[in-house]
Amino acid sequence: MIQTIVRYMQNKLDAETIFQRNYGLTELIERDGRVFPLFYETDGKYKLDFQPNKWFGVSYFRKNGNVSFSDGSFPSLKPCEVPVTVTVPLKFICSIKKAKLKCDDNYAGDDLAFYIAKLFEDINGLRTELNAKRATFVVGEYSTDSQKVLDSEFNGMDAIFKPEYVYLSMDIEINVQTTKECMFDYCGGVIIDEDADRVVDSRNNKLRA
């Protein structure tokens, strides 16, 4: 489910061509007393090229707390269905050169924040992809304090912001109303077809024999 959510939002960013690099889901890694975000590729390899002077725009997501489950408040369509609400807290981080934005002035960060919020707000397509009853997007808060944003993401690295760039940190929350049967058995998951002795994904695509 989280993969579907992040990739859906990442695709919206890609379609807008706001940022030159959209990394998707990252995680904060601690190494030698320093904390910084990295994108996990595969086979134990990480990467993230967050160099403002190299790319004119970079963005990524990371988890911003625990994913929680609560009883759903909508009526089940079938007696066997158990409604559940899944809450996914995420943090969206980005950096972009002000000159690349339509609003190239002291309000560039706030203008970008509202633009991103509006872009993510339309998630009807996500509800369809998750086969959910409902999906909502909520912005908790955002910050355009460049030094604070960098310090929170690059702790112990003495990151220095460039005044010609916007650094944005946005707390967002995705609430998905679905059913336990859908969430664990079909939607975006991997199921085992015991009769055929094979592993398939939610669309019955064969993953391995």
What are the DSSP calls for 42-90, one per residue? STT-EE----TTT-SEEEEEEE-S--EEEE--S--SSTT--EEEEEEEE
Higher pLDDT, 184 or 100: 100
Mean pLDDT of all residues in 60-86: 78
Higher pLDDT, 19 or 191: 19
pLDDT band at 113 (very low <50, low <70, confident <90, very high): very high
Beta strands in 111-163 (DSSP E): 134-143
Question: pLDDT tens-digit profile of 140-199?
Answer: 999 999 889 988 888 876 666 788 899 999 999 999 988 766 665 444 444 333 443 344
**Cβ atoms of 131 and 182 closer than 8 Å:** yes
Tokens describing residue 73: 């408040």
* Bridge partners (DSSP) listed for residue 137: 174
pLDDT band at 85 (very low <50, low <70, confident <90, very high): confident
Which helix (H) or strand (E) segment holds residue 97: the answer is strand 83-97
Query: Burial of 10 by CB count in 10 Å (0-12 exposed, 13-18 middle, 19+ buried)?
Result: middle
Whole-model pTM: value is 0.79
Beta strands in 125-208 (DSSP E): 134-143, 165-179, 190-193, 198-201, 206-208
Query: What's the rounded Cα separation, in Å, for the pair 181 and 88?
Result: 18
**Cβ atoms of 102 and 108 closer than 8 Å:** no
Q: 206 to each of 15, 99, 116, 192, 202, how far by Cα in Å?
A: 29, 47, 36, 10, 10
